[in-house]
Structure 1
Amino acid sequence: MTITDHPLVARARLLASELLEPGAERVDQEGVPASHIEAVKRSGLLGLTAPTEYGGSAAPSAVVREVSEILAGACCSTWFVQSQHHTPVQVLARGEPAARESLLGPLARGELLSGVAYAQLRAHPRAPVRARRDGTGWRFDGSVPWCTGWGLNDVLLLAGLTDDGEAVFAFVDARDQPGLRPSAPLRLAALTAAHTVSLELDGLRVPGDAVALRLPYADWAPTDRAKTLNTNPAVFGIASAALSLLDESTTAPLRTHLADLRTRAYALADHPSPLERVAERLAVRAEAYAALNTATTAAVVAGGGRSMSLTSKAQRLAREGMFLLIQGQTTETRQAHLEALTR
């Protein structure tokens, strides 16, 4: 079976063609509706990376990437909301038994959607969110700058740092509650539709059995770094969608270049040592973003004055491409990208 024949890829294509792509401009302006999330839940795609014994698919990485490309190219806002779900699934799969047995099945089967609230760990050595022992449970205090999918998520994977440098990951209900207060929805240049808020934590108490993972920050950081070095598959999905708006004579050389970058990026992503060939990973990542910018700019140019309308697909894709420039960004990736832009 080829990747394009895989049943999960087929489901993603069906979801994209029948629901996500036709409504993408409306969603961009009005927000991801609960009906989109229910459709994603029913599709089985939330179990992409989950173990089969918990109802997931344990899909190969190539399938996971193909599904991401399809969903991002159809409706980046919906893709981004559901993309948050897969990290909590992976954390539970290797995490504490109590949390795993309580939540992994419902998340893998698409009965629940999880968001994330852990990007603040990348601010280390600062600790925007502190985790402290509180009897048999934990107390979280501080600020989470970004939490996507608010009002759509059922649960959140929240992280904080202890005073001795341990990262604590725990699941909490995704709702306003004592000790957890969301901001108003953030108005952003792109993906406002993804329901992003910031969170203020003031003595949020979490029971011990809701803790999914505890480990020294020094052990967590290399794994997180490895994820940020590689090219996000959404880059290729949005670039392909932009090229679909152009005539063949314009797109032929762009498609060839994009296909080459995709092959190189995914070969690096599949390399058995995720922290080797770092300079090459960052270079390919920067090249891919440049190709994405070329594709979306070409779509805007081809659209002419129509591209200035908020209902323009070309404009939406260009803004989504801008969003991907900073999504998952670290000091290391930012510096490498800036250096590539000034060569």
Structure 2
Amino acid sequence: MATSADVVGRAREIADEVLFPAALRVDGADRVPAAQLDLLASEGYYGMAAPAEAGGLGLSWPEAAALVETLADGCLTTAFVWLQHHAPVRAVADSPRPGIRDRWLAPLARGEHRAGIALAGLRVPDAPMRVTPVDGGYLLDGQAPWVTGWGMIDTLYTAALDVSGDVHFLLVDATAAPTLAVRPLELVAVRASATVDVHFDQHFVPAERLVDRVPYADWSRSDSSGSAMNGFLAIGVAGRCVRLLSPGPAAEALAAELDAVRSGLLTADSATVPTARAAASALTARAAAALAVQTGARAVLLDHDAQRLARESVFLLVFGNRPVIRDALLADLTAPAPAPKIGQVAGQSGE
């Protein structure tokens, strides 16, 4: 049986030999090639969040973080689509509802059934996603923005609020219908993630698709700090930038900072996740900028990885942010630079 070291080691091979060489081509595509996602499924990576007894990898938190980082180092777009799958897997594994785990967990863990998330509809203050119980199930109404992987997933793990203030989590077929419409989003990066807005209009979901029901206040508290795991997408992109830099002081300084930021994310709790996430995004922006500067004029050519990584760093500045992450990141990015020493202006030492 493969060990966790084997899993991450194999992911490094895939990142370097399959994902990174194809990343520029994927960047210009309409969707991630099916062969890449099928490869991740064949390696068992769709079971990252599933317990071993259910056919999952049974990885610890640091091991799972290393897997996310490694795949994002190879191709952010592929890793981004794949990462959406794991929140539904965890939810199904922990579901208190009869039959949910037995029906859904094994196919999800094997990657035979692939899932995305439609949770951001709860974060629309004036018009959150709504759910209404009816005979035999539920009706969904509203818009879920930023749904990733459309056309590459089978199921949407969807959250909506009822009139009593409870959040319902439902497994919805990811198929267009008269009551379910999508609007593609034109992104500056990860375009092949096929990210869309999904609009529900009295869309019926059978009762047996209910995964859980929790008070909105409980969900809001857990959601407010954001996901530490998402920060490892940024760590992966920063790591690739550092690896592409020529050896020297700049690469060494960024590599040391990368180690520190990674450690901060691994040890963060709910109170410190926002600052750890902000540090990861800020580092990625600096690493991508350093790579562009060192590369020179070729960095603005569309066939060069430096411009792709720079655009991805912009995407990661805003992806998955909450107000507390945004505020910490703005503070980091706008902190005054140290004043130059007298006599060292304009590159002159003054000697």
Question: Does the CA-based 8 Å contact 1:170-1:213 persist in structure 2?
Answer: yes
Mean alpha-carbon deviation: is it higher for 128-137 or for 12-21? 12-21
Q: Distance in 1 between matches of 2:8 and 2:98?
A: 31
Contact preservation (8 Å) 1:231, 1:265? no
Other-structure match for 1:113: 114
CA contact (8 A) 1:231 1:288 kept: no
Partner of 2:165: 165
Q: Which residue of 2 aligns with 1:252?
A: 252
The Cα shift of 1:8 comes to: 1.6
**Counterpart residue type for residue 290 of structure 2:** A
Which structure 2 residues correspond to residues 68-87 of structure 1 after superposition, within 5 A? 68-87=68-87
> Does the 8 A contact of 1:229 with 1:333 survive in 2?
no
Q: CA deviation at 1:282?
A: 3.2
Tell me which moved more, 142-151 or 230-239: 230-239
Distance 1:145 1:264 in 2: 30
Matches of 2:147 and 2:281, distance apart in 1: 24
Query: Counterpart of 1:23 in 2: which secondary structure?
Result: helix
Q: Distance in 2 between matches of 1:281 and 1:113?
A: 28
Matched with 1:99 is: 100
Q: Which amino acid aligns with 2:190?
A: L
**SS in structure 1 opposite 2:284?**
helix
1:127 touches 1:160 (CA, 8 Å); kept in 2?
Answer: no
Kept after mapping to 1: 8 A contact 2:227/2:273: no
Give the secondary-structure state (helix, strand or coil) at the position aligned to 1:102.
helix
Q: How far has the Cα of 1:330 moved from its partner?
A: 1.3
Distance (whole Å) between structure 1 residues aligned to residue 85 and residue 334 of structure 2: 36
| 1:244 alignment partner, SS class | helix
How high is the TM-score relative to the length of structure 2?
0.89
Q: Which moved more, 1:156-165 or 1:91-100?
A: 91-100
Tell me, yes or no, if the aligned pair for 2:225 and 2:324 is still in contact at 8 Å: no
Partner of 1:325: 317
State the shift of 1:86 in Å: 0.3
1:242 aligned residue:
241
Q: CA offset at residue 245 of structure 1?
A: 1.6
Q: Which range moves more in the overlay, 255-264 or 292-301?
A: 255-264
CA distance in 2, matches of 1:313, 1:11: 23
User: TM-score w.r.t. structure 1 length?
Assistant: 0.91
| Structure 1 counterpart of 2:156 | 156
- In structure 2, the residue corresponding to 1:112 is in which secondary structure? coil
CA drift of 1:253 comes to: 1.5
| 2:146/2:195 contact within 8 Å kept | yes
Distance in structure 1 (CA, Å) of the matches to 2:156 and 2:194? 14
1:11-26 aligned within 5 A: 11-26=10-25
Pairwise CA distance, 1:14 = 2.5
Tell me how far 1:136 sits from its aligned partner.
2.3
Which position in structure 2 is the counterpart of 1:88? 88
Could you tell me whether the CA contact under 8 Å between 1:117 and 1:157 is conserved in 2? yes
Give the alignment's Cα RMSD to 1 decimal: 1.7
**Are the equivalent residues in 2 in contact too, given 1:12–1:70 (CA < 8 A)?**
yes
Match of 2:348 in 1: none
Residue in 2 aligned with 1:6? 5
Q: Which runs of 5+ in 1 are unaligned?
A: 269-273
Q: Which residue of 2 aligns with 1:299?
A: 291
Q: Are 2:275 and 2:325, in contact at CA under 8 Å, matched by a contact in 1?
A: no
> Which sections of structure 2, spanning at least 5 residues, go unmatched?
336-351
Tell me the CA shift for residue 290 of structure 1: 2.3
Q: State the shift of 1:289 in Å.
A: 2.3
Change (3 A) 1:67 1:308: same
- Is 1:193 the counterpart of 2:188? The answer is no
Q: Which sits farther off after the overlay, 288-297 or 150-159?
A: 288-297
2: distance between equivalents of 1:243 and 1:107? 34
> Which AA in structure 1 matches 2:60?
P
Q: 2:61 is matched with which residue? A: 61
**Aligned match of 1:206:** 205
User: What SS is found at the alignment partner of 1:111?
Assistant: coil
Contact 2:162 2:168 in 1 (8 A): yes
Deviation of the 1:230 alpha carbon: 7.3
- Give the superposition deviation at 1:260: 1.7
Task: Give 1:128's aligned residue.
Answer: 128
AA partner of residue 224 (structure 1): D
Query: Are 2:150 and 2:194, in contact at CA under 8 Å, matched by a contact in 1?
Result: yes
CA contact (8 A) 1:228 1:333 kept: no
Larger Rg: 2
Shift of 1:226: 4.2
Contact 1:182 1:197 in 2 (8 A): yes
Paired residue for 1:271? none
